[in-house]
Amino acid sequence: MKRGAALAGVLFGLAGCGPSLGGLVEAKHYREAICAAHDGGEDARTEVGRALDKDADLQVHVHVVSEEELRPVLGEATSGVLARGRLVRVLAESNVLPVDALGIEASFVTEGGLVAGLSASWETLAWVTQEKLPPRRREETYATPGNVLRGGAAVLTLGLSLLFTEFEPGSVEVDASPSEFARMAPLATRLRITTERGGCHSPTLPALSSATGAGQRCTFYFVLDDVSRAPVFLDIKARYRAMRHNAESLSEPDRQCAVERTFQVPLGPPAGIEEVARKKFGPRMRGLGEVARR
């Protein structure tokens, strides 16, 4: 109870004499606006979220890997792979905003929110190619939790404890070697070489202001089950984050503020998603505001 009262007191002190939410948004003081919206109601979060969306100018592109693109990689196995699932690449990009962090997540869901596609991992790629993966193996290592603690004690005792410490090896499970993956699952390995390039990084794009900020450029790969007939949606979540300033008395979690926005792009059933994506996006990125359902 005391902690809650202290937090409320600090937040009241921080916001009591500050500018209005509309003034913060108009001046693009987004760090302060995010925290004000975080502490406010749904209307405040919507107001700030829409302003952030506009300046972030989130762009997206969906590409379904075609049979012509897969055949040089998979050869005669191409038709069988396409009968089970489709490999989809999603690109997402934002401007650089004066915020502390901007996270972008992508997923494929049904109308009811059920998972409609899985990230392209070794397991999902091996499922779509119908190959077995090599088992994990055990290795001996000295990098065990117990040895780490013994090493820490040695630092605290200026090395004296090393005279009485015996480091013992332990065993850990590790993935098989790349050559084992290539031997047992050659088709999945070829697909993995492409899909493992996915991830997010800060874009080298013009910033919205001279202040330091954050943005994202992401590549995601998914495997969609081609058997399902239920329409699927690309679900994009943007999470704008800021840290409270002049709030050193608060704990780290209480200093964090966030406004999250969700967009859904309809793409139809998996069997026809290649044609839908080609018509909706073509060769270029599209603004989420253009392609997401309202």
Residues in the chain: 294
What does 1-34 look like in DSSP terms, one character per residue?
Answer: -HHHHHHHHHHHHHHTTS--HHHHHHTT-HHHHH
| Alpha-carbon distances, residue 276 vs 31, 34, 231 (angstroms) | 38, 36, 11
Give the span between the Cα atoms of 184 and 177, in whole angstroms: 11
Beta strands in the chain (DSSP E): 59-64, 85-93, 101-110, 117-119, 137-141, 170-174, 199-201, 217-225, 232-243, 256-268, 286-287
Q: How far is CA 14 from CA 39, 42, 43, 245, in A?
A: 12, 20, 20, 9
> With 50 as the cut, is the pLDDT of residue 222 above it?
yes
Please say whether the beta carbons of 125 and 223 come within 8 A.
yes
Q: Per-residue pLDDT tens for 134-163?
A: 998 776 554 555 545 544 444 444 444 444
Q: How far apart are CA 141 and CA 133, in angstroms?
A: 24
| Closest to 213 in 3D by CA, of 222, 205, 224 | 205
pLDDT score at 211: 58
- Tokens at residue 66, please? 């075609």
pTM over 0.85: no
**Mean of pLDDT over the chain:** 83
Do residues 71 and 78 touch, judged by C-beta distance below 8 A?
A: yes
pLDDT of residue 50: 96
pLDDT score for 139 = 61
What are the tens digits of pLDDT across the range 85-104?
999 999 999 999 999 999 99
